[in-house]
């Protein structure tokens, strides 16, 4: 069963304490092509009354007025209630759906079923993001992991906690944040939460404006034994840009204090420095390969750099990524 349908079943059971069976609608083929290209259709029964779930495809961008017209077309083939289902929708469009008297279910968020006397509006606490400028470090690492991974295992807070080294609570908050930003779909199966998304390119287009520069501080250092290149040193590895005269390295803030005590000496200026060091708000070693920070984190660290040569090199690097 598709994750969205499972989320509908779980949501109805959790909120209304009912168990529903869902099966494909046999008359789907009788609909116009534009209707079958836009939705999937499933029969079910709510409180002993037949209902048709009209499940919007992930990439569908529909206005409430359009959905109403589509329902009127489908009503010619189905005599019971029709319920619009989508994984996520803006608060404005939810309001408009109600104004158009369109029954709908947004799993984990809201359901409006006037035929059954149900108008349930759940109010979730808004995730507070500093300056509302983007993701927290924990959420950003989840997204970067998802964009870089090669396997397709299901993502849960417990799996990500193990792979990324964060606490389970931090990963749970990351899932809350993904849900608040409406990035992909966060759904529940039993006691476990899952996060899925349609494809990497779509995910990248959704998140790129919300990703934040991971660098907390830049310093000059002497007598170092750093191993992970960042900044322009890493960019020269991923593009045709020339390497800087003084190499640039990256380290996580949680590792910097210990490193400073045992292996590094901070310098007051570049004149007597052996390297420039970027101190990141998450561990660059999480996704580093062959001694270089990953290209997505590197992109985030260079977003504010307006040097035309750097911008061209960043474009070159990102153009090599196969989404």
Q: What does the pLDDT read at residue 121?
A: 59
Question: Could you give the C-alpha distances from 129 to 74, 126, 145, 296, in angstroms and in order?
Answer: 42, 9, 21, 21
CATH topology of domain 130-207: Arc Repressor Mutant, subunit A (1.10.10)
Q: DSSP assignment, residue 90?
A: -
Q: Which helix (H) or strand (E) holds 241?
A: none
* CA separation for the pair 295, 316 (Å, rounded): 11
To which residue do tokens 């035309």 refer? 308
Of 11, 175, 183, 156, nearest in space to 88 by CA: 183
Structure tokens at 137: 């470090």
CATH code at 3-121? 3.40.1350
Structure tokens at 76: 């010619």
Q: What does the pLDDT read at residue 254?
A: 84
To which residue do tokens 């495809």 refer? 57
The full set of domain ranges for the chain reads: 3-121, 130-207, 215-319
**Would you call 62 helix, strand, or coil by DSSP?**
coil
Distance of CA 159 to the CA centre of its chain: 16
Reading the chain (323 residues) residue by residue, the pLDDT tens digits are 688 899 899 888 888 888 999 999 999 999 999 999 999 999 999 888 899 999 998 766 688 889 999 999 999 999 889 999 998 877 777 888 988 889 999 987 888 998 777 876 554 334 343 335 689 999 999 999 999 998 777 899 999 999 999 999 899 989 989 988 889 888 888 778 999 998 898 899 989 889 999 999 999 988 677 889 999 999 999 999 999 999 999 999 888 877 776 655 666 667 788 899 999 999 999 999 999 999 999 999 999 898 999 999 999 999 999 87
């Amino acid at each position: 069963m598709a994750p969205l349908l499972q989320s509908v079943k779980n949501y109805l059971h959790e909120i209304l304490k009912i168990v529903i069976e869902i099966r494909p609608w046999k008359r789907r083929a009788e609909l116009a092509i534009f209707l079958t290209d836009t939705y999937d259709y499933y029969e079910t029964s709510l409180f002993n009354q037949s209902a048709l779930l009209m499940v919007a495809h992930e990439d569908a961008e529909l206005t409430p007025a359009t959905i109403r017209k589509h329902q009127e077309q489908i009503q010619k083939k189905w005599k019971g209630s029709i319920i619009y289902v989508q994984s996520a929708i803006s608060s404005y469009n939810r309001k408009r759906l109600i104004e158009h008297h369109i029954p709908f279910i947004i799993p984990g968020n809201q359901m409006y079923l006037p035929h059954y006397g149900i108008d349930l509006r759940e109010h979730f606490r808004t995730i507070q993001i500093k300056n509302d400028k983007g993701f927290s470090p924990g959420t950003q690492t989840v997204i970067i992991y998802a964009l870089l991974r090669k396997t397709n295992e299901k993502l849960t807070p417990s799996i990500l906690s193990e792979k990324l080294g964060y606490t389970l609570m931090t990963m749970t908050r990351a899932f809350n944040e993904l849900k608040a930003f409406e990035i992909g779909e966060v759904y529940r199966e039993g006691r476990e939460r899952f996060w899925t998304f349609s494809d990497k390119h779509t995910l990248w287009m959704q998140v790129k404006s919300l990703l934040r520069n991971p660098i907390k501080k830049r310093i000059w250092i002497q007598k170092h034994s750093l191993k992970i290149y960042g900044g322009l040193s890493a960019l020269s590895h991923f593009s045709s840009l020339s390497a800087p005269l003084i190499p640039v390295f990256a380290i996580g803030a949680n590792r910097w204090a210990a490193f400073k005590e045992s292996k590094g000496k901070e310098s007051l200026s570049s004149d007597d420095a052996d390297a420039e060091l970027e101190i990141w708000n998450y561990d660059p070693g999480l996704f580093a390969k062959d001694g270089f920070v990953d290209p997505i984190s590197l992109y985030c660290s260079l977003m504010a750099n307006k040097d035309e040569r750097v911008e061209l090199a960043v474009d070159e690097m990102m153009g090599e990524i196969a989404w």
